[in-house]
């Protein structure tokens, strides 16, 4: 019952209900034994805001020339399954949940989900819009030099500089999770990116000077898009793929510094808990231990990104005390990513057996002797 009401409210929005009805509904659910009703209603109708300072929620006009961008590009051999599109849905739902004022633009070559549902029409219910992806050519020598074969698909993100219908865009890799509103980033000037702190070194103690292209704020310009491609043709190799090209081009050709976001804005999932937190004291003045440093943007669930995935056979497994466990159950970020995906699927109404199994609590939380 809770799930059905939650999804219905999410799809329709607060505007269709008056406060009297909301209080009545909350009380009804509480009387019926649904103690988490107030949390469900609060998540739907309260916009989560950054607290203070630079990270305050945006005082920006609702400019339709700002957008978040992700890529869902399937190679021909997997195109029918629309496999990469599933990775987009949690981000689209997360932007709704945190109260973002701006849409998600999905660069994609996928027109339909496997059940025949039209992708463009479905994504509209998540405040996301489809823009056809085109193939960004990769010089053969560079593609053969990539450290990871999959980076030939990541290279396609260069086309965000071709989205000149937008004044600024925030790029987010699809192996990520958004937990707080980052609309305030649109107020920044120049190009900004996640710090490449793979070793979890503090940005205060031992700052990395390298950028990671998992999260970027950019201003689309045709000249930059063409310049990146021309510059790539002059390079003998590109071991670190697209982010190496972007970094080299902006520093060596444009002579433009790339701003690095601090760890509370963006960090890798395996670094959560290892990086400094916000100092927090209880009312008595004593330091309160706990996890007070959750980044707004988490890039990958762990080093191999096993948990931000609907395919439970790829999840982390551990056998202790004779019990086989899905370790992604024990990662709160994984569980939140799952919640976002399952909500999004309910909202758009698409059918998929693998997702149905993934969203089944009895399956996901099963422990096998």
**Which of 251, 173, 249 has the alpha carbon at shortest distance from 212?**
173
- pLDDT value at residue 78: 60
Q: Is 291 left (phi over 0), alpha (psi -120 to 50) or beta?
A: beta
Q: What is the CATH number of the domain that holds 242?
A: 3.90.550.10
Residues 162 and 23 in one domain: no
Residues 137 and 196 in one domain: yes
Question: What is the average pLDDT across 58-77?
Answer: 75
Residues 91 and 27 in one domain: no
Share of the chain above pLDDT 90, in %: 56
Residues 113 and 10 in one domain: no
Report residue 306's pLDDT band, with 50, 70 and 90 as the boundaries: confident
**Which of 94, 177, 45, 124 has the alpha carbon at shortest distance from 348?**
124
Which of 51-60, 117-126, 257-266, 295-304 bottoms out in mean pLDDT, i.e. has the lowest? 51-60
Residues 144 and 249 in one domain: yes
In whole numbers, what is the pLDDT of the chain averaged over residues?
Answer: 82
Domain-terminating residue out of 238, 271, 304: 271
Is the confidence at residue 103, as pLDDT, over 60? yes
3-class DSSP assignment, residue 215: strand
Within a domain: 253: yes
Residues 109 and 213 in one domain: yes
Question: What is the average pLDDT across 143-157?
Answer: 91
Residues 32 and 110 in one domain: no
3-class DSSP assignment, residue 268: strand
Structure tokens at 47: 């916009």
Structure tokens at 66: 């700002």
Report residue 12's pLDDT band, with 50, 70 and 90 as the boundaries: very low
Is the confidence at residue 47, as pLDDT, over 60? no
Report residue 205's pLDDT band, with 50, 70 and 90 as the boundaries: low
Determine the Cα–Cα distance for residues 133 and 124; give it in Å rounded to an integer: 17
Within a domain: 187: yes
Is the confidence at residue 281, as pLDDT, over 60? yes
Residues 6+ apart with CB under 8 A from 224: 161, 254
Report residue 92's pLDDT band, with 50, 70 and 90 as the boundaries: very high
Which of 47-56, 119-128, 269-278, 317-326 bottoms out in mean pLDDT, i.e. has the lowest? 47-56
Map 86-128 to HEC letters.
HHCHHHHHHHHHCCCCCCEEEEECCCECCCCCEHHHHHHCCCE
Determine the Cα–Cα distance for residues 19 and 9; give it in Å rounded to an integer: 13
- pLDDT value at residue 203: 61
Question: Which has more confidence, 134 or 80?
Answer: 134
Residues 141 and 13 in one domain: no
Report residue 80's pLDDT band, with 50, 70 and 90 as the boundaries: low
- pLDDT value at residue 49: 37
Within a domain: 183: yes
Hey, what long-range contacts does 193-196 have (CB within 8 A, 24 or more apart)? 193/217, 193/243, 193/246, 193/258, 193/259, 193/260, 193/261, 194/260, 194/261, 194/265, 194/266, 194/267, 194/297, 194/299, 195/260, 195/261, 195/262, 195/263, 195/266, 195/267, 196/243
Residues 186 and 267 in one domain: yes
- pLDDT value at residue 59: 40
Instruction: For residue 114, give its domain range.
Output: 54-271
- pLDDT value at residue 150: 85
Question: What is the DSSP pairing of strand 66-72 with strand 104-108?
Answer: parallel
Residues 14 and 78 in one domain: no
Residue 363 and residue 312 in contact, taking contact as beta carbons nearer than 8 Å = yes
pLDDT in tens, 209-261: 899 999 999 999 999 999 999 999 999 999 999 999 999 999 999 999 999 99
Question: What is the DSSP pairing of strand 192-195 with strand 211-218?
Answer: antiparallel
Is the confidence at residue 24, as pLDDT, over 70? no
**Which of 180, 181, 184, 158 has the alpha carbon at shortest distance from 171?**
158
> What's the number of domains the chain is made of?
2
Share of the chain above pLDDT 70, in %: 77
Within a domain: 282: no
Query: Please, what sign has the CA dihedral across residues 147, 157, 194, 231?
Result: positive
Within a domain: 276: no
Residues 263 and 243 in one domain: yes
Structure tokens at 34: 């649904």
Placement of tokens 């925030």 in the chain: 170
Domain-terminating residue out of 271, 288, 315: 271
Q: What one-character DSSP code corresponds to residue 67? A: E
Question: What is the average pLDDT across 280-297?
Answer: 81
Placement of tokens 């916009």 in the chain: 47
Residues 6+ apart with CB under 8 A from 245: 155, 158, 228, 231, 232, 235, 238
pLDDT in tens, 177-200: 999 999 999 999 999 999 999 998
**Which of 341, 331, 343, 198 has the alpha carbon at shortest distance from 266?**
198
Determine the Cα–Cα distance for residues 201 and 207; give it in Å rounded to an integer: 7
pTM of the shown model: 0.82
Report residue 14's pLDDT band, with 50, 70 and 90 as the boundaries: very low
Residues 150 and 253 in one domain: yes
Within a domain: 291: no
Report residue 286's pLDDT band, with 50, 70 and 90 as the boundaries: confident
Domain-terminating residue out of 222, 250, 271: 271
């Amino acid at each position: 019952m809770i799930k059905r009401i939650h999804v219905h409210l999410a799809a329709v929005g607060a505007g269709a209900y008056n406060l009297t009805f909301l209080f009545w509904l909350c009380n009804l659910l509480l009387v019926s034994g649904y103690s988490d009703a107030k949390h469900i209603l609060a998540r739907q109708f309260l916009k989560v805001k950054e607290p203070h300072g630079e990270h305050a929620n945006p005082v920006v006009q609702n400019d339709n020339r700002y957008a978040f961008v992700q890529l869902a590009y399937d190679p021909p051999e997997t195109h029918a399954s629309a496999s990469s599109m599933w990775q987009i849905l949690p981000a689209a739902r997360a932007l709704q949940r945190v109260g973002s004022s701006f849409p998600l633009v999905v660069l994609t070559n996928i027109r339909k989900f496997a059940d025949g549902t039209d992708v463009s029409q479905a994504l509209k219910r998540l405040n996301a819009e489809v823009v056809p992806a085109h193939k960004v050519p990769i010089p053969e020598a560079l593609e053969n030099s990539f450290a990871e074969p999959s980076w030939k698909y990541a290279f396609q993100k260069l086309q965000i500089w071709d989205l000149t219908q937008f004044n600024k865009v925030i790029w987010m890799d699809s192996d990520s999770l958004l937990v707080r509103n980052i609309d305030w980033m649109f107020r920044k000037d120049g190009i900004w990116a996640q710090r490449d702190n793979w070793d979890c070194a503090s940005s205060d103690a031992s700052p990395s000077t390298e950028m990671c292209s998992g999260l970027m704020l950019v201003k689309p310009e045709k000249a930059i898009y063409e310049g990146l491609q021309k510059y790539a043709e002059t390079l003998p190799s590109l071991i670190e793929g697209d982010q190496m090209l972007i970094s080299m081009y902006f520093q060596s050709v444009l002579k433009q510094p790339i701003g690095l976001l601090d760890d509370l804005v963006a960090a890798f999932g395996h670094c959560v808990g290892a990086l400094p937190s916000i100092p927090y004291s209880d009312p008595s003045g004593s330091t309160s231990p706990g996890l007070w440093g959750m980044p707004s943007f988490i890039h990958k669930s762990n080093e191999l990104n096993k948990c931000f995935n609907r395919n439970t056979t790829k999840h982390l497994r551990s056998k202790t005390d004779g019990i086989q466990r899905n370790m992604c159950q024990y990662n709160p970020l994984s569980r939140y990513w799952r919640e976002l995906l399952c909500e999004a699927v309910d909202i758009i109404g698409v059918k998929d057996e693998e997702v149905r199994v993934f969203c089944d609590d009895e399956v996901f939380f099963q422990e096998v002797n």
